[in-house]
């Protein structure tokens, strides 16, 4: 390297800008000594000189160049000085800045917690509805039409088993079978129980069994039905009872108990004919009459109890009492969930679906459920009607006057069961009963039972009116002559105001009649002892042509 090239290093540094803080002057490296040219004997040795641009060789006088530092892509960083800027004084935070920062931290914490809860909720939802992040997104940003919605009615089969109880015999048997029927046009609903002891033919088992054994057919597979036992149960209900099933839900004991706890327990009004209330040692249940607060375990015990244990009381109708309590609990849970705003509370939603996560099976998708929530938003759970099939065991209760089911003992297995009054395998009356409930006939839905007493001198008047009332959906428990004749007609209301539509129509059919439920008149006293929601005493002032014209 010649001297000119060596000086160019300093020239490149001169073009750099000076930093804001002047660094300490660097120590320069020793200048590179040029290689001496060979000395000719005729020439004297040259003196050491430094050549600069525009100058001739002189005696070398090396000056340190003024230091100037700035960034250059060609700068050798190893040659640059390192310097530290003086420490800045610490700034004191103002009160406002502290408040804003605190709020920001809290907000970020909530965002983190919300994300965690959101992921948990989504995880639990996906367990129940067999979804994933893509189906979840589709459900949130699109709508679905439920099966049966366009026809105005959606039916959901709800069943319960004890599959989560280790060592429990018959764990796959569905001891609870309910159908929730939703009218999507009027936004009304009703529940009807299918007796678990109903004797049916189960194709998958190739034998007659109680209907609760259908869920045990795990290998069932047929087009139009879900696979497995619930598909077999759907097929039997649709084929035999004439009830179309659109979706199903199956939960075990654990899901039932945790669902009740997730809404903070429920209150149920116990109305046992025994003044002591209900007692069944088989399931460790003992509750008094009246409004009772139930936690998950006690609610489960009530849903299972049917008075089988030694010393039991308060269960005169055995399994029919149990199904009534199951419907009560279902409505109570729905009412509590709505009153607490569970759908709008992510913590409660998570608790509820966490209970369902591993203990609930359904063929509803998340998209279906979101549509279902919208359809049922206007339904008050307290207005959900509750029904069961009338049997010889329940005559005289809840409007049951004409039984369509009766007891049966299978000659081959000696099992106690229930069969239609019409005969083994003849479910026509059960099918008609559902059609009445699903119709828009308000009278038929109230299921009024009527006793007609002829207190006039017109022969056959009671039988004549029996035909008229049955055509309008009334169940006539008895049509007979009164003990004596009466000058005036009367309607005695024993329904205690629970059947307003029926009462209104009876007043139209029999104008001028006196409506009372008090004892005090000879007509009212004669009406005592009859099992009917309404007792009609037709007096001498009654003109049968009025009913015909009405």
My answer on whether 346 and 363 are in the same domain is: yes
Look at residue 434 and tell me if it is in a domain.
yes
Q: Answer with the one of 79, 111, 145 that is the final residue of a domain.
A: 79
Specify the CATH number for the domain of residue 462: 3.30.70.2390
pLDDT of residue 502: 92
Residue 455: closest CA among 491, 505, 509: 491
| Separation of alpha carbons 449 and 451, rounded Å | 7
The reported pLDDT for the residue numbered 278 is 96
Are 359 and 378 found together in one domain?
Answer: yes
Q: Do 505 and 489 share a structural domain?
A: yes
pLDDT at res. 258: 86
Among 163-167, 351-355, 396-400, the least confident range? 351-355
Domain shared by 347 and 377, yes or no: yes
Q: How many domains does the chain have?
A: 3
Which of the listed residues 387, 416, 438 is the one where a domain comes to its end? 438
Q: Tell me what the mean pLDDT of segment 201-224 comes to.
A: 95
Look up residue 313 and give its DSSP letter. B
Q: How many residues does the chain have?
A: 550
Angstrom distances, CA of residue 479 to CA of 67, 427, 443, 449, 467: 124, 27, 19, 12, 10
CA–CA dist 335, 380 (Å, integer): 7
pLDDT recorded at residue 351: 63
Is 232 a residue whose pLDDT tops 90?
A: yes
Query: What is the rounded distance in angstroms from the CA atom of residue 487 to the CA atom of residue 541?
Result: 6
Residues 520 and 415 in one domain: no
**Whether the predicted pLDDT of 261 surpasses 80:** yes
In a domain, 84, yes or no: no
pTM: 0.67
Is residue 471 domain-resident?
yes
pLDDT at 169: 66
Helix (H) or strand (E) holding 503: helix 500-509
Same domain, 420 and 493: no
**How far apart, in Å, are the Cα atoms of 376 and each of 84, 126, 307?**
71, 22, 35
pLDDT, residue 299, reads: 95
Q: Where are the alpha helices (DSSP H) in 377-533?
A: 428-438, 442-446, 461-471, 500-509, 522-527
State the pLDDT at residue 436.
Answer: 87
Read off the pLDDT band of 503 (50, 70, 90): very high
The residue segments making up the domain with residue 513 are 443-549
One domain for residues 396 and 453: no
- Three-state SS string over 204-239 comes to CCCEEEEHHHHHHCCCCCCCCCCCCHHHHHHHHHHH
Highest mean pLDDT among 134-148, 169-183, 274-288, 505-519: 274-288
Question: With 70 as the cut, is the pLDDT of residue 113 above it?
Answer: no
Same domain, 377 and 448: no
Q: What is residue 473's predicted lDDT score, i.e. its pLDDT? A: 79
**pLDDT over 80 (residue 141):** no
Which tokens in the block code for residue 206?
């190739």
What is the reported pLDDT for 65?
56
Q: Which of 438, 460, 475 is the last residue of a domain?
A: 438
Instruction: Specify if 227 maps to a domain.
Output: yes
Judge if 426 and 366 occupy the same domain: yes
């Amino acid at each position: 390297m010649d001297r000119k090239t060596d000086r160019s290093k300093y020239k490149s540094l001169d073009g750099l800008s000076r930093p804001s803080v002047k660094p300490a002057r660097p120590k320069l490296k020793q200048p590179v000594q040029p290689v001496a040219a060979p000395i000719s004997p005729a020439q004297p040795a040259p003196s050491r000189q430094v050549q600069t641009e525009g100058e001739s060789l002189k005696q070398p006088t090396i000056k340190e160049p003024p230091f100037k530092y700035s960034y250059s892509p060609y700068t050798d960083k190893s040659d640059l000085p390192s310097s530290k800027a003086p420490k800045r004084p610490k700034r004191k935070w103002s009160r406002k800045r502290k408040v804003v920062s605190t709020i920001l931290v809290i907000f970020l914490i909530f965002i983190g917690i919300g994300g965690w809860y959101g992921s948990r909720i989504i995880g639990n939802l996906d367990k129940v509805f067999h979804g994933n992040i893509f189906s979840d997104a589709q459900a949130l940003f699109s709508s679905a039409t439920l099966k049966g919605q366009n026809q105005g009615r959606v039916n959901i089969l709800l069943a319960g088993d004890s599959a989560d109880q280790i060592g429990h015999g018959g764990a796959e048997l569905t001891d609870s079978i309910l159908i929730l029927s939703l009218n999507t046009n009027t936004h009304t609903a009703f529940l009807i129980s299918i007796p678990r002891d109903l004797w049916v033919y189960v194709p998958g088992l190739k034998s007659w069994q109680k209907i609760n054994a259908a869920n045990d057919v795990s290998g069932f597979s047929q087009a139009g039905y879900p696979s497995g036992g619930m598909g077999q149960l759907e097929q039997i209900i649709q084929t035999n009872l004439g009830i179309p099933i659109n979706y199903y839900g199956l939960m075990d004991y654990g899901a039932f108990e945790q669902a009740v706890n997730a809404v903070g327990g429920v209150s149920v009004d116990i109305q046992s004919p025994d003044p002591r209330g209900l007692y069944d040692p088989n399931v460790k249940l003992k509750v008094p009459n009246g409004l009772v607060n139930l936690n998950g375990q006690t609610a489960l015990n009530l849903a299972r109890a049917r008075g089988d244990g030694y010393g039991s009381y308060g269960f005169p109708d055995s399994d029919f009492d149990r199904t009534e309590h199951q419907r009560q609990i279902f409505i109570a849970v729905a009412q509590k969930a709505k009153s607490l705003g569970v759908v709008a509370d992510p913590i409660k939603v998570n608790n509820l679906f966490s209970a369902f996560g591993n203990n609930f099976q359904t063929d509803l998708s998340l998209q279906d459920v979101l549509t279902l929530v919208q359809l049922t938003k206007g339904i008050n759970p307290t207005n959900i009607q509750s029904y069961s099939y009338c049997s010889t065991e329940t005559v005289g209760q809840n409007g049951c006057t004409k039984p369509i089911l009766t007891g049966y003992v299978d000659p081959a297995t000696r099992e106690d069961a229930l069969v239609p009054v019409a005969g083994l395998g003849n479910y026509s009356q059960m099918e008609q009963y559902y059609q009445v409930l699903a119709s828009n006939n308000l009278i038929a839905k109230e299921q009024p039972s009527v006793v007609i007493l002829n207190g006039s001198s017109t022969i056959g008047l009671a039988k004549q009116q029996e035909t008229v009332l049955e055509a309008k959906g009334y169940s006539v428990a008895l049509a007979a002559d009164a003990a004596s004749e009466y000058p005036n007609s009367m309607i005695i209301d024993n329904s205690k105001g629970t059947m307003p539509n029926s009462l209104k129509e009876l007043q139209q059919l029999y104008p001028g009649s006196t409506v009372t439920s008090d004892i005090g008149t000879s007509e009212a006293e004669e009406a005592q002892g009859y099992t009917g929601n309404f007792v009609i005493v037709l007096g001498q002032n009654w003109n049968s042509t009025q009913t015909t014209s009405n």
